[in-house]
Structure 1
Amino acid sequence: MLSRVALLMLVVGVTLALPSDPYAPRPVYKEDPIPYNFAYGVRDEYAGTDFGHNEDSDGQAVKGSYTVQLPDGRKQTVNYVADHYNGYQAEVSYYGEAQYPHQYGPPVTFKPQAYHPQPSYKPQPSYQ
């Protein structure tokens, strides 16, 4: 009899501990919007790399642009605006004319360099 009462109390305790509606939406933690801005650019003429990105935000909307040098010689620029009401809106433009040469030069390769660390000091034995 005592085991049945204990089992009944266990079942009632577990039932009361469960939420009344397991599918109810959970509370969402929202942070205050923080304004920010950043920019960077990379240009390496030896490797043919040229790209950059800049972005500004007032905490509500984001405005920015990025550029990249395409393999066909054109430069692609994307200007965009994004917010929670209108979503992401982009305007893409190209500068220059695409070029497709009939002959290509040798590929750009980099020779591996061996790493041989040299100690900056010569340790002396501590014993005589």
Structure 2
Amino acid sequence: MNSKIFFVAALIAVSAADRRPYSYSAPDFSSEEFGPAHYNFDWAVQHSDSGNNFGHQEARDGDDTQGSYFVQLPDGRLQTVRFSVQGDSGFVPEISYEGEARYPDSFESFESFESRESRGYAPPRPVYG
């Protein structure tokens, strides 16, 4: 009986030793093989019904990156951030605002909570036909 257990254990050891270990290493390529980065893009969203107005523009040539992004703030101003990144200098922003901030005179100018609640949900009428 002991020889059978020894034989099975030896068979398991041999089959386990035959497997290759898994390797979890980094891929064998470098970003330098593809050359310096070059790109240029821009996009914008302007939706007058919701008041959304924002966008982004960026261009890169090697280590030199220039760009800007903007957003329409809730107070009515347009915030623009112009930025540059040159090598290891880091992100260098320049922030500007267009327009003047507008705030309501008082809380009474906002629609009252009760009037908003009165518009409650009404299920659609069934249509037969």
TM-score normalised according to structure 1 size:
0.58
Alpha carbons 1:77, 1:94 under 8 Å: kept: yes
Q: Does 1:67 align with 2:70?
A: yes
Written as runs of structure 1 = structure 2, the 5 A alignment for 1:51-66 is 51-66=54-69
Output the amino acid matched with 1:30: S
Task: Name which of structure 1's ranges 44-53 and 80-89 shifts more when overlaid on structure 2.
Answer: 80-89
Residues 88, 28 of structure 1: CA spacing in aligned structure 2 closer, same or farther, 3 A cutoff?
Answer: farther
Q: Name the % identity.
A: 42
Per the alignment, residue 4 of structure 2 pairs with: none
Kindly tell me: are residues 28 and 46 of structure 1, through their superposed partners in 2, closer, same or farther at Cα, counting changes over 3 Å? Answer: same
**Partners of 2:87 and 2:40 in 1: how far apart?**
18
Is 1:40 the counterpart of 2:28 in the alignment?
A: no
Q: Deviations over 1:41-95 (max 9, x none)?
A: 1000001100011000002111100010000000000000013320110000111
* Alignment check: 8 A CA contact 1:62 1:83 kept: yes
Q: Secondary structure at the match of 1:87?
A: coil
SS of 2:49 mapped into structure 1: coil
Post-superposition shift, 1:28? 8.3
C-alpha RMSD of the superposition: 3.4
Residues 28, 86 of structure 1: CA spacing in aligned structure 2 closer, same or farther, 3 A cutoff? farther
TM-score by length of 2: 0.58
Inter-partner Cα distance in structure 2 for 1:96 and 1:78: 15
Q: Which runs of 5+ in 1 are unaligned?
A: 1-25, 115-128
The alpha-carbon distance between structure 1 residues 105 and 55, as it changes in their structure 2 partners (threshold 3 A), is farther
Where does residue 94 of structure 2 map in the other structure? 91
CA distance in 2, matches of 1:79, 1:105: 37
Q: Which runs of 5+ in 2 are unaligned?
A: 1-25, 125-129
